[in-house]
Amino acid sequence: MRKNSNNPLFTFITSGFLLMLLLFNACKGPTPVERKRGLIAEKAMVVSAHPLASEVGAKILEKGGNAVDAAIAVQFALAVVYPVAGNIGGGGFMVVRQKDGSAYALDFREKAPAAADRDMYLDEEGNAVSDMSRLGHLAAGVPGSVAGMFAAHDSLGRLPMNELIQPSIDLAMGYKLTEKEAASYTRAREQIEEYSTQPTFFSQKEEWAAGDKIVNEALAHTLTLIRDHGVAGFYEGETADKIVAEMERGGGIMTHDDLKNYQAVWRDAIIGNYKDYRIISMAPPSSGGIALMQLLNMVGQHPDALAEGFHSVASTHLIVEAERRVYADRAKHLGDMDFYPVPIDGLLDPAYLQARMSDFGPNQATDSDVILAGEPLLAEHDETTHFSIIDAEGNAVSLTTTINGGYGNKVVVGGAGFLLNNEMDDFSAKPGVPNMFGLIGAEANAIEPGKRMLSSMTPSIVEKNGNLFMVVGTPGGSTIITSVFQTILNVIEYNMYMQEAVAAPRFHHQWKPDMIMLEKNAFDKGVQQALEEIGHTFSENTRNIGRVDAILVLPDGKLEGGADPRGDDSAAGF
């Protein structure tokens, strides 16, 4: 060898080889980031915000329950182990796709009590008092979750309801806190003590630590009443008495009649197409489905910009401009269809969406003050949690549920062990006055007795060429719509695995305030600068956007879970 190294021919060949290697590496670009799949399951999967809830769901699937059965069990389990958002005192939306392709959308959103009125959160000068719609008894809408679970079960469930509720009763008799939860409990304790009128389980300790055991006997008892008496176990009798007594002690307005009259409603799902994909999502009173379809249509008009790549200047600019227009529409046109004629067909009309993007310039940001809501043709709206489920037969459930803010209105119903929502803040308390997510609204989302407040929750199911492809959704208030939208794009346009698509950094624009909110490391410095040069403004603070839990059906039929690393989220399956 040593001899050869002095040979000029050898030197020529080796240096040529090294040069080629160098050139080859330069063409390849930067060293590729290691790719990461989520949990893979052969047949069935649950992805939720809490490992114990995911386990409960997976066990129901293993013993032959279908996706709806598992969803019901997970909803009740989250009400115990994830009280920051999981609930029986709140509401939500369930989107179902059965293995035969049929689609269902269940609305169990909270309602304004009968004594609510449009000006209930205004002071004498007519100014909105935001604390009134966010904290304490007046902030609560009539809960829909228990009615929703029974409505789902009546139509699509398989296993007996008591088998779906029992795991949550067992959990209420003792479960252990994760580290993130312990910190969250400690932070929330004082406010919950301030707004609840009776001692709560949060006060069992001053400082909570990982591994601490929570026993919530009052909640176990409430869940037992629901198990044994069905809907009446919550909306009538002992539990209803406790809710109404809590309202009377704390100055709330919810009555026995409000509770007794509550009903969940099946809606027609919002269904749209994007390339070879068909998307099934939630109808009003969520704005999510309509907004998602509008966004996909608008970015689909400019495939070249999208093709520039994930978080490139061109694709980000396009996405922001679409989001700006869609949120302007949301503020004016979206509300509860039972009270306001939401122009669904007009908002989704391709010609309307084409016109809406006609002033999109690839090299200039638009000013939100000159983007007004569009005028679609009239044909005759921090904590929430989402879970995604696919059962062994291929039925799918996408369910987002909430008490709105973290720990809702901070009121634990005395003796009943569960928190109430502060969903009334999702109404527009006064035209143009932002709610806790900075969203504004007007007539379409004004408060009326019995009306449902506008939501952004976007539980969605995607098909590819007619087959189940993805189940996806997230919490995040106003950022829900954009997080679901960007996760879908990450998979469809940027070929990410499910886990990568969920973990990838996100950004958000909601028309007003006119700025791009972003997560840490969402953009390369150069990209951000280039976007600023064409007129975009970035929020100075970065924060987590959304907590997406999703499942992808792989080409070989196996399932990949995407459990958001931003929380304790976990996938379980078999």
Site for ligand DON, rule CB under 6 A: 382-384, 402, 404, 423, 426, 455-457, 475-477, 480
What are the counts of helices (DSSP H) followed by strands (DSSP E) for the chain? 20, 19
Q: Is 439 within 8 Å of 513 (Cβ atoms)?
A: no
d(CA 229, CA 238): 11
290 Cβ contact list (under 8 Å, min separation 6): 270, 283, 284, 334, 342, 344, 347, 348
Provide, rounded to whole angstroms, the least separation between the CB of residue 423 and ligand DON. 6
Q: In angstroms, how far is CA 275 from the centroid of its own chain?
A: 24
Tokens of 57: 């769901």
Q: Given the complex with ligand DON, which of 450 and 535 has the nearer CB atom?
A: 450
Catalytic residue among 200, 222, 384, 402: 384
Q: Given the complex with ligand DON, which of 400 and 499 has the nearer CB atom?
A: 400
User: Burial level of 198, CB count in 10 A (0-12/13-18/19+)?
Assistant: middle
DSSP E strands, 358-424: 384-390, 396-402
Tokens 């008092």 belong to residue: 129
Q: Which of 552, 402, 386 is nearest to 474 (CA)?
A: 386
Provide, rounded to whole angstroms, the least separation between the CB of residue 367 and ligand DON. 26
- Report CA-CA distances (Å) from 534 to 235, 316, 345, 358, 364: 55, 12, 34, 18, 5
Q: Which of 490, 533, 535 is nearest to 509 (CA)?
A: 535
Which parts of 206-312 fold into alpha helices (H)? 217-229, 232-235, 237-250, 256-261, 288-300, 303-306
Catalytic annotation present for 487: no
Q: Is 100 within 8 Å of 80 (Cβ atoms)?
A: no
| Helix 67-81 with 161-172: angle, nearest 10 deg | 20
Q: Given the complex with ligand DON, which of 246 and 423 has the nearer CB atom?
A: 423
d(CA 114, CA 303): 48
d(CA 457, CA 93): 8
Provide, rounded to whole angstroms, the least separation between the CB of residue 374 and ligand DON. 21
Provide, rounded to whole angstroms, the least separation between the CB of residue 473 and ligand DON. 10
Q: Given the complex with ligand DON, which of 75 and 402 has the nearer CB atom?
A: 402
Provide, for the chain, the percentages of residues in helix, strand and coil under a 3-state DSSP scheme, each rounded to the nearest 5: 40, 15, 45
Provide, rounded to whole angstroms, the least separation between the CB of residue 84 and ligand DON. 9
DSSP class per residue in 341-369:
---HHHHH-HHHHHHHTTT-BTTBPPPTT
Provide, rounded to whole angstroms, the least separation between the CB of residue 133 and ligand DON. 12
Provide, rounded to whole angstroms, the least separation between the CB of residue 459 and ligand DON. 11
d(CA 448, CA 427): 9
Q: Given the complex with ligand DON, which of 86 and 475 has the nearer CB atom?
A: 475
Instruction: Return the HEC string of 459-528.
Output: CEEEEECCEEEEEECCCCHHHHHHHHHHHHHHHHCCCCCHHHHHHCCCEECCCCCCCEEECCCCCCHHHH
Q: Which residues are catalytic?
A: 384
